[in-house]
Structure 1
Amino acid sequence: MLEHGGNLNDAVMRHGIARAEWLDLSTGINPNCYPAPLLRDDAWHRLPESSDALAVAACAYYGAPRMLAVAGTQAAIQALPQLRLREKGVSRVVVAAPAYAEHAHRWQQAGHAMREIDYADLQKALDTCDVMVVCNPNNPTGARVVPDVLLGWAQQLASRGGWLVVDEAFGDTTPHLSVTGQAGVQPGLIVLRSVGKFFGLAGVRLGFVAAQDAVLESLQEWLGPWTVSGPAQEIGIAALCDEDWQRTTRERLLADGERLNRLLAGAGIQASGSAMYQWWAEPDAAGFHDWMAQQGIWVRLFTRGAGGIRLGLPPDEAGWQRLQTALQGWSQNNNKSVERIA
């Protein structure tokens, strides 16, 4: 399997630092999660019947006419290439890159003719593919594509039986970029949404797919029964309906994202990203990753291409100060190295 952030057990094993002593910034997940409510007494006992209340809450929150609940967007990411293969055969697939690596991996694994294309070249690649996959905003770089462009691409692809898959897992702080509301109307448009990122509920394993009815019905049949647990459904309903929490959290995340960007700039790092993470092409990515690990700070290392680093948000002021100290140490050490070379 591919390596992902959040692998804190690996950090403990590699560096011998107790789990409780780590500052884990290796994911882009909200570090202050939604407070899960008390569950019904039978939540762990009964089979999880599909919840109309969950579907209604999701459609209201995401602004879609219909949505299918899935066990995290990863479930849909794995299923869609197989579903496409069954219904359309081997397809020419373009995945915007760099991005969440599971997209390219799963399309290739299913046997499709997959290519990874830089965001700047997606328009030129449109005529040479049957399926295009775009993360918007992108994880890890924060690259964005405006809705009008995405909808134009979806229309072109649909005219020849194609799909545009838009992963909006990190879209909760950028609602103006979302095309979820058009997914039930625009043929060929499939949008993925996640409860794990903005709500910080990654362990719940809950996500949603917005698309036309035929696609959702085929996907539901492919995934089978009981895909989302009863407890996940209850927690999801509470989170999706809590407008006060959503509003204050969105404001805090946007402010914290700007703070992280400024903190990195103060250490001489020009980064980009979204409200919940920052990324940059670090010349010595492995060295930075190792330095942070020595300070008990776990960050996400990207080794493909030129290499890069992604940082999530610290959970509290102590975490911010700890990160600032580590960044200052890295900057000072790098400056000394440059002076010695000179």
Structure 2
Amino acid sequence: MTRMRSALWLLLGAGLLVLAGCSGPGGGSTSTSSKGGYYKDDGPGSDIPDNIAAIPDAVPRIEKHARANFRPYVVFGKRYVPVSDEKPFRQQGTASWYGRKFHGNKTANGEVYDMYAMTAAHPTLPLPSYARVTHASNGKNVIVRINDRGPFHSKRIIDLSYVAAAKLGLIGPGSGQVIVEAITNQDIRDGNFGPPPRPKPVPVAPPAPAPLLVAATQTAAPHPAPATPDALAALQHQEAPISTSAVHTPAPPADQIYLQFAAFSAAGTAEDLAQELGAQIKHVETRPVHVQASSDLYRVRVGPYPSRTAAVNAAVRIEQETGQPSALTVGHPQ
């Protein structure tokens, strides 16, 4: 009997070590590879799907739980108490991600970890359950299925799969501030887990027009204002060609207008997004996607555009096609 009990304790100890090591890389150090920040001995796989952004979010459904999944447990001397799937849960903190080192291994839920599935590891949310994760900086959000335990690290609250982190824009930096909100069973019954409404694109207000110098021999004819002006029409009217015989126009500026979609510290991450974005928008936009390096950042931009009107119109087209928001920026020609 004593020998059998000792064997059971050894198995339990081994199980906790596997849980701590395979459920998430919370205790590891980070790498500074050009592919982006990730945990030591881990990183992106070699067979990354062509269109990461098109991989759908997890679809919440009510699932059964083993009683053992709600039992408190201890890892690295810290006690964790799983929470109920019927109570609201909201948490803000740092998210990290785990990839090829754990791809194909068993999760704490007994499933096989797939770095290209919309899953995540969390120390206390029910196994399995669902949560919405929102990037606190850019507002992007995804729904993931919690099927693993981790990260067991005091400074991180959730480990995302590679694809979930990619859709949030966390692959390059390796980690980032997120908001984790549990999707309860009641939310699922009510269908209350759809994506939050995206703000509609707002046309950028035109700059104040420069004063016009009219020749002394001519009198400028007044133009009647339209009864119901709008911002886009005002831009188009402002940028109509003006006769050079009557007006002295300044030389065009050296800088040009671009749409900026992201900025990364890793060149490889920026190049990957540029290629992906270029393939997505080729049917709606003829201008190229650039990666512009400056101040230790690699900015993914589309352009240049001859005017703010053209840039705003392109931003609306591209967001409707890809769901990717952008910002107008001024930069030197490529």
TM-score range, shorter chain: under 0.3
Q: Higher relative CO (CA 8 A, sep ≥ 6), structure 1 or 2?
A: 1
Q: Which protein has the bigger helix share?
A: 1
TM-score (structure 2 length as normaliser) = 0.20
Q: Which protein has the bigger strand share?
A: 2
TM-score (structure 1 length as normaliser) = 0.20
